[in-house]
A and B are shown apart, each in its own frame.
Chain A
């Protein structure tokens, strides 16, 4: 990942009160962007590979993921 690694610059937002860490979003991200952190919640490990395709949100059965925005450079 190039540039800053700050968590704020992640557009895939996880509602930790809903997420049960099932990893569905990680398994089905077509660009292999997501990983589970050490608390078991998904984060954008390879942020700049994201195609903002929304599959993570689509595949989440608990409605815990929101694509809050699109990447800054295209916004």
Chain B
């Protein structure tokens, strides 16, 4: 099968929320720009909002909040590790996003988003501020609308064709390599500008139920964006701040908190007590949940039964109608009903790396530029703390415009790639006659991630994780065997997960303190250390030595003086176990063993014989 070569101006890696917005805005900025969008799935349904989404979790709209309020909320939950320009830009851009979404879907104010009696978009309280910054959405079909717009504008869309290599020359982006996961058709695409919008590392830790795809984030999001940026020499930050999800137990869809809490629901423990004052997904809240379990008051639940029947029915409609619609089915099979106090069991499941819900990702400035020339990033893979879906749209749009402008002035890149050898290397798992099943290798790395680096983080366990990473790269990755192109992408995914595990572990060891509640609760340093205030932990590949390098750098100077943390303390663990029992010393040189070795040697004795049937 011959390779196809494409010359482009802007290449978008991932056609999700950020990617579709990027493509649209790139085309809007320069209709002549050759924009190529690549995705693992079809852009109509892929990514985090493929089946719809029920809210814009952080917005500033007239009558309710301002961009400064967004800065205040994000300054607190990021505990000072925030480029406030990013937060302000997010707040500034959300109103435009609301209008764009109404435009693309052809829906009126009051239909896609609720409006109040003054005609303003009606927001609710959720964030740790006194301003309502949460806007509900009846967004079942927005992904289809975005995809339609992308295609209408004449972008080249390569569905089911994920990018597996990103090329640079002299520190500048030159292009990408991708293959179709059904046909194996492979592409070499040259472009001066590449936007990474390929989502979070959703497949990272292992969910406790053991189902590889049974995760909170979209399972196509396996960290390729993080890994490609890293290998291109870009800086990544906050990789030590894990998303320690509180989810609907086992179903692992959202725990409904952001739909239920603004409407009067709240979290309770097994004793029926409200255990924490807010339900915002920040590290302090996750720490509170962890403490409930550690002190024997788990499971925890989301309480709804005190709400009026009309509200419960309304919540059922929203919760079972968008995003993860089978949750109604799930409840039914467990005989659960929102009218019972313990109907929605929540659990702390797999850890992930995601800037949308947490902070980890590729370092970007407010123009979405990374530290590599021509490389832009937006959405869950770009480190804009707790930006949620609005951030993907706002920064996706900025990335599209910025990349189109850059491509208009940048020189055509020279791509020097030995395509035959590269394709041979990528398809090695398909061509080798035998080897390890790729799903088992994935299971192995993800169970190790769960066991060794899930917070609270232990230094010796994290060191052991690094041992596993080295061992799996040496022994397992070169022996992965797959049966077809569909599974061949999984070999790349496993390597991305391993790369991300290494970044997350090393960053966690580098930041010698605890911060962000449970998200970086390090047992050897169980308190926040002022010397780390205003400091990023940076992960970067040294392109000369191929080594992973860790460093710190200053967060941009604050423009707004808001409190930079929420009120909470790390628990002091004092377990006095008493003296215990000490038996008398044993004889290390056991004569029984010595006699056995003398008599039998070191061979394993053959004491079992299979009798042949006569």
Do A and B form a real pair? yes
Partner of A32, one of B44, B182, B329: B182
Indicate if A67 sits at the interface (CB-CB under 8 A): yes
Distance A34 CA – B319 CA, assembled complex (angstroms): 26
Given the known interface contacts A30-B41, A31-B41, A58-B51, the answer about A69 and B333 at a Cβ–Cβ threshold of 8 Å is: yes
Add 4 more A-B contacts to A32-B41, A55-B50 (CB < 8 A). A30-B46, A30-B220, A54-B325, A74-B214
B217 closest partner in A (C-beta): A51
Distance A74 CA – B250 CA, assembled complex (angstroms): 5
Query: What 1/0 flags go to B322-336 for Cβ under 8 Å of A?
Result: 001110011001100
Q: Are B218 and A51 in contact (CB under 8 A)?
A: yes
Distance A52 CA – B216 CA, assembled complex (angstroms): 11
Q: Are A73 and B210 in contact (CB under 8 A)?
A: yes
Indicate if A75 sits at the interface (CB-CB under 8 A): yes
Partner of B214, one of A54, A59, A73: A73
Query: What 1/0 flags go to A42-74 for Cβ under 8 Å of B?
Result: 000010111111110011000000010111011
Partner of A55, one of B51, B215, B250, B487: B51
Contacts of B215 in A (CB 8 A): 51
Indicate if A39 sits at the interface (CB-CB under 8 A): no
- Give the contacts of B44-60 with A (CB-CB under 8 A): 44-47, 50-51
Q: Are A59 and B329 in contact (CB under 8 A)?
A: no
Given the known interface contacts A2-B439, A32-B486, A53-B50, the answer about A70 and B329 at a Cβ–Cβ threshold of 8 Å is: yes
**Nearest Cβ in chain B — how far from A32, in angstroms?**
6
B141 closest partner in A (C-beta): A58
Contacts of A46 in B (CB 8 A): 486-487
B contacts, CB < 8 Å to A: 40-42, 44-47, 50-51, 160, 181-182, 207, 209-215, 218-220, 250-252, 324-326, 329-330, 333-334, 437, 439-440, 486-487
A contacts, CB < 8 Å to B: 2, 27-32, 46, 48-55, 58-59, 67, 69-71, 73-75
Distance A29 CA – B487 CA, assembled complex (angstroms): 15
What are 13 A-B contacts with C-beta separation under 8 Å?
A2-B437, A2-B440, A30-B41, A30-B45, A46-B486, A53-B50, A69-B329, A69-B333, A70-B329, A71-B211, A73-B209, A75-B330, A75-B333
B330 closest partner in A (C-beta): A70
Partner of A30, one of B50, B251, B325: B50
Q: Are A31 and B220 in contact (CB under 8 A)?
A: yes
| Most chain B CB atoms below 10 A, which of A48, A53, A75 | A53
**Nearest Cβ in chain B — how far from A48, in angstroms?**
6
**Nearest Cβ in chain A — how far from B112, in angstroms?**
18
Distance A30 CA – B439 CA, assembled complex (angstroms): 19
**Nearest Cβ in chain A — how far from B254, in angstroms?**
13
Distance A46 CA – B333 CA, assembled complex (angstroms): 24
Partner of A31, one of B211, B219, B437, B487: B219
Contacts of B160 in A (CB 8 A): 32
**Nearest Cβ in chain B — how far from A69, in angstroms?**
6
Contacts of A69 in B (CB 8 A): 329, 333
Contacts of A27 in B (CB 8 A): 42
Contacts of B251 in A (CB 8 A): 70, 74
Distance A55 CA – B330 CA, assembled complex (angstroms): 16
Given the known interface contacts A28-B42, A74-B252, the answer about A50 and B220 at a Cβ–Cβ threshold of 8 Å is: no
Distance A9 CA – B243 CA, assembled complex (angstroms): 32
Q: Which 8 A-B pairs have the closest CB atoms?
A: A73-B211, A30-B41, A30-B46, A54-B325, A30-B45, A74-B250, A55-B45, A28-B45
Q: Are B51 and A53 in contact (CB under 8 A)?
A: yes
Partner of B51, one of A54, A74, A75: A54
Distance A30 CA – B15 CA, assembled complex (angstroms): 11
**Nearest Cβ in chain A — how far from B180, in angstroms?**
10
Contacts of A67 in B (CB 8 A): 326, 329
Partner of B324, one of A28, A50, A53, A59: A53
Distance A32 CA – B250 CA, assembled complex (angstroms): 23
Distance A74 CA – B212 CA, assembled complex (angstroms): 11
**Nearest Cβ in chain A — how far from B436, in angstroms?**
12
**Nearest Cβ in chain A — how far from B44, in angstroms?**
6
A73 closest partner in B (C-beta): B211
Distance A62 CA – B218 CA, assembled complex (angstroms): 26
Distance A73 CA – B325 CA, assembled complex (angstroms): 18
**Nearest Cβ in chain B — how far from A37, in angstroms?**
16
B332 closest partner in A (C-beta): A69
Partner of A71, one of B47, B51, B214, B220: B214
Given the known interface contacts A55-B51, A69-B333, A75-B333, the answer about A28 and B486 at a Cβ–Cβ threshold of 8 Å is: no
Distance A31 CA – B218 CA, assembled complex (angstroms): 9
Contacts of B250 in A (CB 8 A): 74-75
Contacts of B329 in A (CB 8 A): 67, 69-70
Contacts of A30 in B (CB 8 A): 41-42, 45-47, 50, 218, 220
Distance A53 CA – B251 CA, assembled complex (angstroms): 11
Distance A48 CA – B486 CA, assembled complex (angstroms): 12
Distance A64 CA – B212 CA, assembled complex (angstroms): 27
**Nearest Cβ in chain A — how far from B512, in angstroms?**
38
Distance A74 CA – B251 CA, assembled complex (angstroms): 6
Contacts of A70 in B (CB 8 A): 251, 326, 329-330, 333
Distance A75 CA – B250 CA, assembled complex (angstroms): 7
Distance A67 CA – B45 CA, assembled complex (angstroms): 17
**Nearest Cβ in chain A — how far from B54, in angstroms?**
14
Contacts of B325 in A (CB 8 A): 53-54, 58
Distance A69 CA – B181 CA, assembled complex (angstroms): 27
Contacts of B214 in A (CB 8 A): 52, 71, 73-74
Q: Are B211 and A74 in contact (CB under 8 A)?
A: yes
Contacts of B326 in A (CB 8 A): 52-54, 67, 70
Contacts of B330 in A (CB 8 A): 70, 74-75
Contacts of B45 in A (CB 8 A): 28-30, 55, 59
Distance A46 CA – B325 CA, assembled complex (angstroms): 21
Distance A53 CA – B329 CA, assembled complex (angstroms): 12
Distance A58 CA – B45 CA, assembled complex (angstroms): 10
Partner of B209, one of A52, A58, A74: A74
Contacts of A54 in B (CB 8 A): 51, 324-326
**Nearest Cβ in chain A — how far from B208, in angstroms?**
10
